[in-house]
């Protein structure tokens, strides 16, 4: 896939999946803008210092002004929205603040980045690609038991993706999402040491699906929530 002379924003680009996505984008010639919230994230980022990478400190991607800063003054081809957060909790144990934290961190941030990306693409007039990251419970609601606030937020990301895809298809902007199951990362292995890690999808495999959806090679796929479950 050729991303030469194409600018891509990757939120959550300093995390495990984001780093894999950025690595593939850089190998395919892309220029990447990557917002980060914590200084330590930027300092340990594997592609820090690459001339094709711009790291931008942001306070909160659920804040309109912070998001506008990320998308200012770039000719955008694709925007990939990986940023988010997970918190377990049964409904009886989840206060409004915890619910809103999941909605802001996963859904509101995605919505605002979609809006900013869309406006940048419309201004450039060359079409583009938007790829969101939902989750398996967004498609299989029963699997969200015990993490209901997270499930609600990610289901919202899935609905946003499909509705937005319909809105902007005639503008040459294709919007899709992936829905991973638990991915094989160091953090997840530490949290679930007795799980069968061999069944979990690898971040590089999920990244490959994201890259296709974000690429000019994707000419017809829109409004899809693509399950990336591996053998899980």
Instruction: For residue range 62-108, list pLDDT tens digits in order.
Output: 999 999 999 999 999 999 999 999 999 999 999 999 999 999 999 99
The CA distance from 12 to 21, in Å, is 10
Tell me the C-alpha distance between 84 and 194, whole Å. 25
Q: Give the pLDDT score at 56.
A: 97
- Confirm whether 1 is domain-assigned: no
The count of domains in the chain is 1
Range of the domain at 35: 7-228
Residue 186 lies in a domain: yes
Digit-coded pLDDT (tens) for 110-169: 999 999 999 999 999 999 999 999 999 999 999 999 999 999 999 999 999 999 999 999
Helix (H) or strand (E) holding 120: helix 109-124
176's enclosing H/E stretch is strand 173-180
At residue 39, what are phi and psi to the nearest 5 degrees?
-55, -40
Strand partners, 228: 180
Q: Residue 138 domain-assigned?
A: yes
Residue 103 lies in a domain: yes
Instruction: Report, as an integer, the average pLDDT of 174-189.
Output: 95
d(CA 98, CA 167): 31
Report the CATH number at residue 211.
3.40.50.720
Closest CA to 151 of 199, 102, 191, 114: 102
Residue 140 belongs to a domain = yes
pLDDT band, residue 175 (cuts 50/70/90) = very high
> What pLDDT, on a 0 to 100 scale, did the predictor assign at position 232?
85
Q: Angle CA(124)–CA(54)–CA(179) in degrees, nearest 5?
A: 75
Supply the residues annotated as catalytic. 150
Residue 209 lies in a domain: yes
Q: Does the pLDDT value for residue 25 go beyond 90?
A: yes
> Please, what is the average pLDDT of the chain?
97
Region 2-8: mean pLDDT is 97
Please check whether residue 2 lies inside any domain of the structure: no
With 0-12 CB in 10 A as exposed, 13-18 as middle and 19+ as buried, what is 22? buried
From 144-148, 178-182, 228-232, the region with the lowest mean pLDDT: 228-232
**Of 191, 190, 159, which is closest to residue 175 (Cα–Cα)?**
159
Q: What is the pTM of this model?
A: 0.96
Identify whether 66 is part of a domain.
Answer: yes
Any idea what DSSP says for residue 4? T
């Amino acid at each position: 896939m050729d991303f030469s002379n194409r600018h891509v924003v990757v939120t959550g680009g300093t995390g495990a999946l984001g780093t894999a996505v950025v690595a593939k984008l850089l190998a395919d010639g892309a220029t990447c803008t990557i917002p980060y919230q914590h200084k330590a994230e930027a300092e340990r980022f594997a592609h820090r210092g690459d001339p094709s990478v711009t790291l931008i400190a942001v306070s909160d991607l659920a804040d309109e002004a912070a998001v506008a800063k990320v998308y200012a003054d770039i000719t955008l081809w694709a925007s990939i929205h990986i940023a988010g957060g997970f918190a377990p909790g049964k409904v009886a144990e989840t206060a409004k603040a915890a619910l809103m934290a999941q909605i802001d961190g996963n859904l509101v941030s995605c919505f605002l980045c979609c809006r900013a990306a869309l406006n940048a693409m419309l201004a450039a007039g060359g079409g583009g690609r938007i790829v969101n990251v939902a989750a398996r419970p967004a498609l299989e609601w029963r699997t969200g038991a015990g993490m209901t606030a997270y499930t609600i937020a990610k289901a919202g990301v899935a609905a946003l993706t499909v509705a937005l895809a319909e809105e902007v298809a005639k503008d040459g902007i294709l919007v899709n999402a992936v829905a991973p199951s638990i991915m094989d990362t160091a953090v997840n292995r530490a949290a679930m040491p007795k799980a069968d890690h061999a069944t979990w999808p690898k971040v590089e495999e999920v990244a490959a699906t994201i890259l296709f959806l974000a690429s000019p090679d994707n000419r017809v796929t829109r409004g899809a929530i693509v399950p990336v479950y591996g053998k899980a």
